[in-house]
């Protein structure tokens, strides 16, 4: 199935946050899911990372 992903879902997924719901976690973790990540989401993640608002490795 194809899904459009927003910023919170991606950030929470990679941070392994409890904020992410079970359905979203299953969708993001599934190998059969096709994800559409809008350009604005990438820009928002870049902005958050630059401001150290998200944890990344």
pLDDT given for residue 53 in this prediction: 86
Tally the C-alpha atoms within 13 A of residue 5's C-alpha that lie toward its C-beta: 28
Cα distances (angstroms) measured from residue 35 to each of 2, 51, 52, 53: 6, 26, 25, 24
Specify burial of residue 5 (Cβ count, 10 A radius: 0-12, 13-18, 19+). Answer: middle
What pTM was estimated for this model as a whole? 0.85
pLDDT in tens, 11-46: 999 999 999 999 999 999 999 999 999 999 999 999
């Amino acid at each position: 199935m194809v899904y459009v992903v927003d910023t919170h879902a991606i950030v929470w997924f990679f941070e392994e946050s409890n904020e992410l719901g079970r359905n979203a976690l299953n969708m993001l973790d599934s190998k059969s899911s096709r994800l559409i990540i809008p350009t604005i989401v990438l820009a928002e993640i870049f902005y958050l990372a630059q401001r150290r608002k998200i944890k990344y490795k």
